[in-house]
Amino acid sequence: MDTYLDINTLILALVVVYSGSFLLSIVLYFVRQPFPGAWMWLAGQGFLVVGTLGLYLQGFGLPYHVLALSNGALLQSLVFQANALWKFRFASKRFPASLHVLGALGVAVWFALVNAPTSVRIYVFSGTLAALSAFAAVIILYRPERHLNAVSWIASVYFLLLGAGSFVRVVGTATGTPPLTILEEGTMGASMYLAAMLTAIFNMLGYFLMSSSRAESILRDREAEAVDRTRRLAELVSMKDSLLSVIGHDLRAPVSSAARYVRKHLLEGDVDLNTRREGLKVLADSLERSAALLENLLNWARGRQGALDIRTAPVSLAGLAAEASSQVAEAASQKGVTIEAPDGDAIALADSRATATVLRNILSNAVKYSRPGDVVRVGLSRVVGPAGEPLARAVVSDGGVGMQPQQIEKLFLPGKTLLTLGTDGEQGTGFGLALCKAFMDAMHGSIEVDSRLGVGSTFTLTFPAPPLDPS
């Protein structure tokens, strides 16, 4: 059998609980535990204390106007807390500001209904209270992020209980059995008292849960930033090691060799003019390789630091392939290698200079590792990506010496590439394909290789492409 408790004792207990919740939230706010909408939640708790205190004072026979003001404060409390939940969940969207007039409007309506039947006041106040509570519950429960599931359900209990209680009062009034107000009844059952206290406790937990969730989110973001900084630091260390390796081996060797050659064959002894000319040609070739290496090295380092000046626009891959082919045509002619032009064209969203550099490097390598009589083929096509996105593809294939699997694994790693001489003794820098990958990554494209030793290699370049013109 339910035990009944004095109503004034109950409401005073609620005033104490709500006041303690308000003070605890203020303390949390000032010890740097805020969250988006925190001050509005505090304002809502403040209005809740005022409204509950007004309800308590009604027990001492204060005028009807005190009840009107306390009911307006309760409505305003819900509006502020709904606004706080809105900012907590949807920071980028504006809260319906017109709802903030409900508190003042509620006070005005209650003053106007001073002589109206109790049922009318229940419809107005409890109906508005139920609607606002449901609105606040929907805000906090609407598609919460996975880490907010528990927080959302716990924070919604206050609004669900308050809304359910208000809705029951409206339904009871509509069915002809209007409930007595707690002041008219003078007592409240222990079960209702427990429900009221639970409602107060869940409201008290609201600020703590949301501030804790915010702090947890900040910690996750900082952890992700730390992981990203660690990754970038590891990349910088790897880049430094690669630079030292290339500078110490690939760059120092040709420069030192050129210096020794000049001293031995051009400066020392009596050297005729023809010999000097041949020596100058050897020196020029060595310096050109060193300059190419330095340029590739600089561009690759800038790419790793995100400093490449990449400007994408619709470009013709056929035109860029023709340009790259003309630049390696002399070397191909000297070796008896044919570069077969592509049939048709494909339009890519790419940087023209970077794409020309990539195609030139790949065609140069294809010629370098081809034998006399071999054919280097360039194929262009338009394809559809896995997500239905338009792509442009360029395929460069040769029938040259091919590569071993261990070479392919390190093909795009500068300073770690397993260099081999070309079929005519040509030397490489070990940096060209690393630069190609940096350029393709910067253009949001990809580069892939398929190669078999003694059979040849195929390089596939994939670029974003503009959508087809429906006209």
Q: Which has the closest alpha carbon to 436: 359, 369, 363? A: 359
Asked if residue 356 has pLDDT above 70, the reply is yes
Q: Considering only 289-303, 326-340, 412-426, 450-464, which range has the smallest mean pLDDT?
A: 412-426
Kind and range of the H or E run holding 464: strand 456-464
pLDDT, position 182 = 47
Q: How far apart are CA 365 and CA 332, in angstroms?
A: 11
Asked if residue 145 has pLDDT above 50, the reply is yes
Asked if residue 317 has pLDDT above 90, the reply is yes
Provide the percentage of residues in the chain whose pLDDT is more than 90: 11
Taken in order of first residue, the domains within the chain and their CATH numbers are 4-228 (1.20.1070), 312-464 (3.30.565.10)
Number of Cα atoms under 13 Å in the Cβ half of residue 254: 20
Asked if residue 314 has pLDDT above 90, the reply is yes
Assign 446 a pLDDT band (cuts: 50, 70, 90). very high
Asked if residue 443 has pLDDT above 70, the reply is yes
User: Which tens digits make up the pLDDT trace of 368-397?
Assistant: 888 888 999 999 999 998 888 999 999 999
Torsion of Cα atoms, 134 then 140 then 144 then 150, to 10°: -110
Cα–Cα–Cα angle for 166, 172, 174, nearest 5°?
A: 105
Identity of the residue numbered 305:
Q
Report the chain's mean pLDDT, rounded to a whole number.
77
Assign 465 a pLDDT band (cuts: 50, 70, 90). very high
Q: How far apart are CA 122 and CA 125, in angstroms?
A: 5
pLDDT, position 3 = 54
Cα–Cα distances (Å) from 252 to 209, 249, 331, 412, 416, in that order, read 62, 5, 26, 21, 16
Q: Which has the closest alpha carbon to 132: 169, 97, 81, 92? A: 81
User: Which tens digits make up the pLDDT trace of 61-107?
Assistant: 667 777 778 878 888 888 888 888 888 888 778 888 778 777 677 77
Over residues 217-240, mean pLDDT: 75
Exposure class string for 382-418: b at 16+ Cβ within 10 A, else e: beeeeeeebbbbbbbbbbbbbbeeebbeebbebbbbe
pLDDT, position 187 = 44
Provide the percentage of residues in the chain whose pLDDT is more than 70: 71
Contact 48, 77 (CB under 8 A): yes
Give the tokens for residue 298.
């600089």
Q: How far apart are CA 400 and CA 397, in angstroms?
A: 9
Q: How far apart are CA 114 and CA 116, in angstroms?
A: 6
pLDDT higher for 306 or 182?
Answer: 306
Over residues 54-61, mean pLDDT: 73
Query: In sequence order, what DSSP letters do the residues of 156-221 get, joined into one string?
Result: HHHHHHHHHHHHHHHHHHHTT-PPPPHHHH-EEEHHHHHHHHHHHHHHHHHHHHHHHHHHHHHHHH
pLDDT, position 188 = 46
